[in-house]
């Protein structure tokens, strides 16, 4: 079993409190994972936004070669702010305290799913638009804090390549490098997503999530939550 920590943002949910924290569990080698700003999971976005995305993705899964791609489960789609790697269980309290400070003052903001593309013929994604300046500011605070707690240098978010807000929809290369059929399916799907524009939704809270891996899709558990500052 693998274990990981992540953070997520949502338009629903309460501020942090003792009821949000599950019992501590230790995995082999500690915990590892990603701190992610999640928009479309656990009821985080309005149901019509989720339904709209699913309706858009459904025909893409019918493209020739698309059955060879590894499609993400709707409940697992998220926007990563910073990858943490392995995190010792003993560091989680300090990480939580730091993230609580990192979120302070960051405002509630409006986003929407928009456009799409692919990374190096391997990853199919849908992008986000709207008040992305707020998202970028939150990402900068988070990467600074995680770097301080974990002793790692935070990436320069002034570089566009360093932070490209997106939700992963599918991955190619099930058995190593993607073959020609997978690459064609990925590129065709990306082209069809270029003009996609979803409905606006409000991001009002950030959640620290624990992810566990049992040989299938990751299982997510909310550890703690923080409300963003009202507009």
Q: Is 166 a catalytic residue?
A: yes
User: Which positions ≥6 away from 144 have C-beta within 8 Å?
Assistant: 102, 154
CA distance 158 to 136: 9
Backbone angles phi, psi at 115, to 5 degrees: 70, -175
Number of H helices, E strands in the chain: 4, 10
Angstrom distance (rounded) from CA 100 to CA 106 = 11
First to last CA, the chain: 41
Residue 106 is among the residues annotated as catalytic for this protein: no
Residue with tokens 């190593």: 176
Closest of 186, 202, 39 to residue 127, by C-alpha: 39
Catalytic residue among 78, 106, 118, 207: 78
Q: Which of 37, 106, 109, 166 is catalytic?
A: 166
Among 89, 203, 222, 87, residue whose Cα is nearest residue 145: 87
Give the catalytic positions in this structure: 78, 166
């Amino acid at each position: 079993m693998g274990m990981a920590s992540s953070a997520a943002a949502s338009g629903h949910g309460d501020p942090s409190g003792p009821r949000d924290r599950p019992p501590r569990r230790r995995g082999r080698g500690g915990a590892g994972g990603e701190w992610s700003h999640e928009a479309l999971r656990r009821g985080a976005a309005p149901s019509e936004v989720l339904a709209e995305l699913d309706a858009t993705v459904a025909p893409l899964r019918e493209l020739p070669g698309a059955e060879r791609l590894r499609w993400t489960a709707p409940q697992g789609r998220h926007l990563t702010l910073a990858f943490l790697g392995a995190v010792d269980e003993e560091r989680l309290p300090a990480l939580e305290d730091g993230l609580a400070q990192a979120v302070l003052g960051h405002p509630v903001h409006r986003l929407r799913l928009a456009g799409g593309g692919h990374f190096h013929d391997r990853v199919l994604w849908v992008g986000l638009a709207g008040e992305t300046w707020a998202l970028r500011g939150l990402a900068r605070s988070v990467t600074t804090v995680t770097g301080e707690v974990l002793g790692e240098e935070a990436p320069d978010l002034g570089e566009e390549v360093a932070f490209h807000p997106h939700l992963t929809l599918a991955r190619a290369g099930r058995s190593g490098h993607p073959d020609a059929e997978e690459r064609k399916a990925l590129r065709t799907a990306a082209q069809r997503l270029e003009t996609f524009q979803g409905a606006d939704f409000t991001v009002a809270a950030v959640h620290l999530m624990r992810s566990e891996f049992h040989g299938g899709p990751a299982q997510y558990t909310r550890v703690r939550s923080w409300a963003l500052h009202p507009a």
